[in-house]
Amino acid sequence: MGRTLLLRGLLTLTLLACLMVTQPGCSLMVMAGKALMGDPKVPSLFRQRTGIDLIEDEKTVLIVSTTPEFLRLKNSAVDRDITEGVYRRFRRKEIKCISPSKVDSWLGRVGGFWEDPSEIAEEFETDYIIHFDLDSISYVEENSVGFYRGKAHGQVKVYAVREVGGKRGAFLIFEHEYKTAYPNHYPISADNMSQRAFAEKFTKRIADELARLFYDYRSTETVD
């Protein structure tokens, strides 16, 4: 035990020195550090702000995504694709989640629209309602014909479902502005990929980033 602590102490000092001088060989030391000390998890933003761990606390969530009508006219499936993408990632992390098909069936019965999340709380047995409200999604690089760069913006809201006065209601406990761009550095040429393929790739990335707001992940885990 004493020898292990000594090795870790020496490695920590070496890593600090490495960061100070920023020599190319330092990347090897970082890899060695992860091998010895492990790859730490990044705590989810939701857990940081609320103290709620959806996995450990075994809470059930319901996901609903909304976009403006002009976005649905361009891509009628974007709401569903984001919801399904987050749902699949939640299932892999063993987060209990209401099936999107059940939510879709209810939306069909109410004409596809709802104004108050308490309407959802009355209909479904869930602990939290997660609402992804995206107001803009674009795929083409601005002022550059023939290049793709995805951009998205919106709000993420989480409502706790509680019973008050014999009725189930939804109460806001978390709100976060979501903003992303992909790729970060150079756009992708249309010669290398169709717009449909790029849109699918970007939508998967959005789903991955949104899902990571709710569970811890390894720093080395890559997004889609």
* Per-residue CA distances from 68 to 79, 150, 182, 220 (Å): 10, 17, 21, 35
What DSSP string describes 97-131? E--HHHHHHHHHHTTT--S-HHHHHHHS--SEEEE
Residue 60 · residue 126 · CB < 8 Å: yes
Is 20's pLDDT higher than 90? no
Question: Could you tell me the two tokens for 119?
Answer: 């309407």
Spans of all domains in the chain: 1-38, 42-218
Nearest CA-CA partner of 203 in 89, 104, 56, 59: 89
DSSP H or E segment with residue 199: helix 195-211
Q: Is the pLDDT of residue 53 over 80?
A: yes
Task: Residues 42-218: name the CATH superfamily.
Answer: ABC-type transport auxiliary lipoprotein component (3.40.50.10610)
Task: State pLDDT tens for residues 113-158.
Answer: 899 999 999 999 999 999 999 999 999 998 888 999 999 999 999 9
* Lowest mean pLDDT, pick from 24-38, 63-77, 88-102, 134-148: 24-38
Q: Hey, which residues does 178 pair with through a beta bridge?
A: 154
